[in-house]
């Protein structure tokens, strides 16, 4: 195909309305919003009116419209069935994380999409944050030397809310670990490769809902590096600075507020020895390190443009289902570790 990919959105409220529709689909140069669908009819009508597109009453009704791709932004427990329904209608699918509730569900989703020859992607938009991309390139080029350790933090204040699916195990699969920790784990796997073993602790430290509001994970990567992820629903927003730290045998990259929904934060590299080869246009030398400031790009726009271009060019997408499956395996191992009180292989 050529031109713009026509997108339908299932789960038009929430993150879709706040971020992915206005900052991603509408802003994308190779995409356009064609229809929206949500179980909450009032919200769906509001979103449809806001963006001047049809409001489908059901997913089946939306799939019958002239659309090429579906963005799935519903609660996690609905992903499996909705992805398969969209695949059977011949639509490509970009699904929010977690892809499914279990590894088995994700494997089935991937299998069905492969057989029906439609693309399935995972919406890990933080991979497209340009500072994260620059850090990954530095690691790939060996600027940090041998990878040793990384830490990723993402926390917020998320009090009890009536009907919130992230506070319901049956609907979300868990709390702060699967919701926010999943992003952190994915970033560290982008930097260091696959995780092979985890040790995890979760707790309901402050809030009374049934999912965890506290999670801390120790990761062992296949390349021998270690990592930690901490994700809390019970730390005030302004007190959590979303720290990202990456260490190697020749230096480090220290970040503040690059993890999150924004396009840029503060990132500084401390490199021992020759740092030649890194694009000087993206850096500014300072006395206490090298600031990494590539031109920012909205990560929601970037993920939609990448997936849309993969459809247009009929090529594999960078935000693939494979990264979603890898993440699901690690998350599953984390919850198993927390339940058994020991380290667990992924």
Q: Does 232 fall in a domain?
A: yes
pLDDT tens track of the chain, all 346 residues? 668 999 999 999 999 999 999 999 999 999 999 999 999 999 999 999 999 999 999 999 999 999 999 999 999 999 999 999 999 999 999 999 999 999 999 999 999 999 999 999 999 999 999 999 999 999 999 999 999 999 999 999 999 999 999 999 999 999 999 999 999 999 999 999 999 999 999 999 999 999 999 999 999 999 999 999 999 999 999 999 999 999 999 999 999 999 999 999 999 999 986 545 555 455 545 567 899 999 999 999 999 999 999 999 999 999 999 999 999 999 999 999 999 999 999 9
Task: Please check whether residues 106 and 136 belong to one and the same domain.
Answer: no
Task: Please check whether residues 165 and 182 belong to one and the same domain.
Answer: yes
Q: Does 215 fall in a domain?
A: yes
Q: Which residues of 258-274 are buried (b: 16+ CB within 10 A; e: fewer)?
A: bbbeebbbebbbebeee
Structural tokens at position 123: 């919406």
Instruction: Decide: helix, strand or coil at residue 345.
Output: strand
Q: Select from 65, 100, 125 the last residue of a domain.
A: 125
Q: What share of the chain is helix, strand, coil (3-state, %, to 5)?
A: 40, 25, 35
* Total residue count of the chain as it appears in this document: 346
Q: Are residues 73 and 48 in contact, defined by beta-carbon separation less than 8 angstroms? A: no
Task: Please check whether residues 103 and 139 belong to one and the same domain.
Answer: no
Find the domain containing 215 and state its range. Answer: 130-259+264-297
Domain count, the chain: 2
Task: Please check whether residues 157 and 274 belong to one and the same domain.
Answer: yes
Measured CA to CA, the distance from residue 255 to residue 135 in angstroms comes to 10
Structural tokens at position 313: 């060019």
CATH number assigned to the domain comprising residue 269: 3.30.360.10
Q: Does 81 fall in a domain?
A: yes
Task: Please check whether residues 41 and 105 belong to one and the same domain.
Answer: yes
Q: Does 17 fall in a domain?
A: yes
Task: Please check whether residues 183 and 222 belong to one and the same domain.
Answer: yes
Task: Please check whether residues 9 and 60 belong to one and the same domain.
Answer: yes
Alpha carbon 74 to its chain centroid, in Å, reads: 14
Bridge partners, 255 (sequence order): 244, 267
CATH number assigned to the domain comprising residue 44: 3.40.50.720
Measured CA to CA, the distance from residue 167 to residue 98 in angstroms comes to 15
Specify the pTM: 0.93
């Amino acid at each position: 195909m050529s031109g713009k990919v026509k997108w339908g959105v299932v789960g038009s409220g929430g993150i879709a309305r706040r971020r992915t529709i206005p900052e991603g689909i509408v802003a994308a140069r190779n995409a356009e919003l064609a229809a929206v669908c949500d179980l909450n009819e009032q919200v769906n009508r509001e979103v449809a009116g806001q963006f001047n597109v049809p409001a489908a009453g059901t997913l089946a009704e939306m799939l019958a419209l002239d659309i090429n791709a579906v963005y799935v932004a519903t609660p996690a427990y609905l992903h499996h069935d909705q992805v398969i329904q969209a695949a059977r209608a011949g639509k490509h699918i970009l699904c929010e994380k977690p892809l499914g509730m279990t590894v088995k569900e994700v494997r089935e989703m991937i299998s069905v999409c492969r057989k029906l020859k439609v693309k399935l992607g995972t919406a890990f938009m933080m991979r497209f944050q340009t500072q994260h991309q620059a850090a990954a390139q530095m690691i790939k080029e060996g600027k940090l030397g041998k990878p040793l350790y990384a830490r990723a933090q993402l926390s917020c204040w998320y009090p009890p809310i009536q009907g919130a699916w992230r506070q319901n195990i049956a609907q979300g699969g868990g709390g702060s670990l699967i919701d926010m920790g999943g992003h952190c784990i994915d970033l560290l796997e982008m930097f260091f490769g696959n995780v092979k073993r985890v040790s995890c602790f979760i707790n309901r430290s402050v809030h009374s809902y049934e999912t965890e509001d506290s999670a801390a994970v120790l990761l062992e990567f296949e390349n021998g590096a270690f990592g930690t992820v901490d994700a809390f629903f019970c730390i005030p927003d302004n007190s959590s600075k979303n720290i990202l730290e990456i260490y190697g045998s020749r230096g480090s990259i220290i970040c503040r507020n690059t993890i999150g929904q924004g396009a840029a934060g503060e990132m500084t590299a401390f490199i021992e020895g020759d740092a030649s080869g890194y694009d000087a246009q993206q850096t500014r030398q300072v006395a206490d390190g090298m600031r990494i400031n590539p031109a920012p790009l909205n990560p929601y726009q970037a993920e939609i443009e990448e997936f849309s271009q993969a459809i247009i060019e009929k090529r594999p997408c960078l935000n693939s289902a494979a990264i979603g499956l890898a993440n699901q395996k690690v998350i599953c191992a984390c919850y198993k570790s927390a339940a058994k009180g020991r380290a667990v292989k992924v």
